[in-house]
Amino acid sequence: MTFGEDWGWGAPKEESEKILRVFTDSGGNFIDTSINYTDGTSEKFLGEFLEGDRDRFVVATKYTLSIRKSDPNAGGNHRKNMMRSLETSLERLKTDYVDLYWLHMWDYTTPIEEVMRALDDVVRSGKVHYVGVSDTPAWVVSRANAVAELKGWTPFVGLQVPYSLARRDAERELLPMARSLDLAFCAWGPLAAGLLTGKYTGMSKEKPEGRLSRPDWGVSERGKRIAAEVDRVASEAGCSSAQVALNWVRQQRGVVIPIVGATRPSQMNDNLGCLGFQLNHDQMKRLDEATKIDLGFPHEFLKDDEVRELIFGGTFPLIDNHRT
Q: How far apart are CA 259 and CA 282, in angstroms?
A: 25
Which parts of 178-259 are beta strand (E)? 184-188, 256-258
Q: Are 68 and 40 in contact (CB under 8 A)?
A: no
- Per the CB < 8 A criterion, the answer to whether 128 and 101 are in contact is yes
Q: Which of 37, 130, 163, 200 is catalytic?
A: 37
Cα–chain center distance at 248: 14
How would DSSP label each residue in 106-151?
A: --SSS-HHHHHHHHHHHHHTTSEEEEEEES--HHHHHHHHHHHHHH
Those residues whose C-beta lies under 8 Å from the C-beta of residue 12, and which sit 6 or more positions away, are: 4, 5
**Which of 53, 3, 11, 62 minimizes the C-alpha distance to 29?**
53
Task: Tell me how far CA of residue 121 lies from CA of 117, 125, 153, in angstroms.
Answer: 6, 6, 9
Report the distance separating Cα 119 and Cα 112, nearest Å.
11
Write the single-letter amino acid at 190: P
Instruction: Give Cα 220 distance to the centre of its chain.
Output: 22
φ and ψ at residue 295, rounded to 5 degrees = -75, -15
Q: Give residue 144's identity as a one-letter amino acid code.
A: A
DSSP one-letter code for 59: E
Residue 101 is a catalytic residue:
no
Q: Catalytic residues, which ones?
A: 37
